[in-house]
A and B are shown apart, each in its own frame.
Chain A
Amino acid sequence: MDSLLLSVRLALLVSAILFVLGIPLAYWLAYSRWRAKFLVEAVVALPLILPPTVLGFYVLVAMGSRGPLGKFWQAEFGHTLAFTFTGLVLASVLYSLPFTVQPLVASFENVDRQLLNASAVLGANRLRTFFRVILPLSLPGVITALVLSFAHTIGEFGVVLMVGGNLPGVTRTVSIDIYDHVQSLEYAEASRMALLLLLFSFVVLCIVYGVNRHIGRRLWSPWLTK
């Protein structure tokens, strides 16, 4: 149960950080006209296709005592980031970044540009336009981004193993715990936790689709049917 609580704590923290970082990044990706924007898009999407062990390896190297991040952390806090909960949070933020940013970008891009123009000529600056028009109309995307980043972090394995190892109460998340039980031939325990994750994932997806359907209908349908 400790591992489950640790996973939930990790996922909540990562989702909150990604929400704060992801919104401005997604806004920039959706509206910037910079020609080399595709480079940033590719970097953000990398964790989608990169094997978690590869990502985990590079993050581990960066966090190690010889890596730039590790050296900085060592100088500031007296220890490296590898095999700590903070290191796990940083790695998970990188790993789940596209799951937050991509739904947000898609939602922001979906908002009718003429609404943004209308907001501007009515005297609203970009910040007000974002909070009064773009964000409310992107609510399904925001919910999807939050739920997906949370669920993806809960279920991550490869990156956690590479960066965090398997320290009970510190870095042993629920997926590592399942792996441990299987290695020890404790199938009953592994099955119980696996079933829990399976149900959790199913409920999360139901929430995403159900909420989006409800909000989408409330926001748009009367508008479209007239």
Chain B
Amino acid sequence: MVTMANEMNRPALAARIRKERHNPGHPSFTLDIEFEIPAGFTILFGPSGAGKSTVLDCIAGLLRPDRGHISVDGTILFDDRSRIDLPSHTRSVAYVFQNLALFPHMSVEKNVTYGLVNLPKPQRAAKAREILQAFHIENLASRKPGEISGGERQRVALARSLVTSPKILLLDEPLSALDAELKTSIIADLRAWNSARQIPILYVTHSSEEADALGERTITLDHGKIAQQQ
């Protein structure tokens, strides 16, 4: 196993995943990977169909690996040998999807507080205010996702994911449709937010320019295998 966790004794994310997928009309696909990452940005890079989103889905609990082990910050999320498979809603994993998946019938504020249902109302409102300010979208609180721009929607999606104080953040090419300037500004906000919290952020991209620009640890996937780690 190649270990990239040199900043910390324990890796923030340890994953060993084997998953076979058979879709009618498509060649069968096998994801077979093993990696560990520390807190901070890690780029998961590879061409379309390399298995990047499958990795994220397995970590989030949206897909069940056939075999393997996934742990975040020492908590086992999945382990086939000990038959541990925590349901998605109990994993404390934040996931920003490629299409963002904002709830179209809710305001920005309702979207952001969706994951805070267990908190008392005043605390919920305070947390929402804090995160909306951190991502410079406090003026959009009462708007619906359909009434704001693409860049603002990306910020809302990030805020909604991070407000729950997750143990890991998964980003599935959420900024691919934005121009470079906007992308840099959002990434800067994200880095600023994470500097105090230090959770692992797994950022999926198929663009080599984007991977280079982010200039972080990179895991390159190809045909379901790790081709390179640096």
Contact = CB atoms under 8 A, between A and B. Distances in A.
B105 A136 contact: yes
A117 B95 CA distance: 9
B115 to A, nearest CB: 4
Interface string B147-172: 11110000000001100100000000
A114 B101 contact: yes
A185 B85 CA distance: 72
A94 interface: no
Given A222-B147, A223-B145, A119 B104 contact: no
A114 B103 CA distance: 10
- Using C-beta atoms within 8 Å of the partner chain, give the interface range for chain A: 20 to 34
A224 B147 CA distance: 10
A124 B114 contact: yes
Contacts of A121: 60-62, 88-89, 91, 93-95, 161
Given A122-B114, A124-B117, A117 B101 contact: yes
A53 B32 CA distance: 59
Contact of B146 (A123, A137, A221): A221
Given A120-B62, A123-B164, A132-B114, A225 B104 contact: no
A118 B95 contact: yes
A208 interface: no
A133 B106 CA distance: 9
A133 B103 CA distance: 7
Given A117-B62, A122-B115, A132-B114, A226 B103 contact: no
Given A128-B117, A223-B146, A120 B89 contact: yes
A220 interface: yes
Given A117-B95, A223-B104, A122 B160 contact: yes
A133 B104 CA distance: 9
Interface residues of B, number: 32
B99 interface: yes
Nearest to B90: A123
Nearest to A125: B89
Contacts, number: 78
Interface in A26-71: none
Contact of B144 (A112, A137, A222): A222
Contacts of A194: none
B144 A118 contact: no
Contact of B150 (A137, A220, A226): A226
Contacts of A120: 61-62, 87-89
Interface in A107-162: 112, 114-115, 117-125, 128, 132-133, 136-137
Contacts of A112: 99, 101
Contacts of A117: 60, 62, 88, 95, 97, 101
Nearest to A137: B105
Contacts of B93: 121
Given A222-B146, A222-B147, A119 B60 contact: no
Contacts of B114: 119, 122, 124, 132
Interface of B: 60-62, 87-91, 93-95, 97, 99, 101-105, 114-115, 117-118, 144-150, 160-161, 164
What 6 A-B pairs have minimum CB-CB distances, sorted nearest first?
A: A222-B146, A122-B115, A223-B146, A118-B101, A120-B88, A114-B101
Interface of A: 112, 114-115, 117-125, 128, 132-133, 136-137, 219-226
Given A120-B89, A122-B89, A219-B104, 9 more contacts: A117-B101, A121-B60, A121-B91, A122-B115, A124-B114, A124-B115, A128-B117, A132-B103, A226-B146
16 contacts: A117-B88, A118-B95, A118-B97, A119-B114, A121-B89, A121-B93, A122-B89, A122-B161, A123-B90, A124-B114, A128-B117, A133-B103, A136-B105, A137-B105, A219-B105, A223-B145
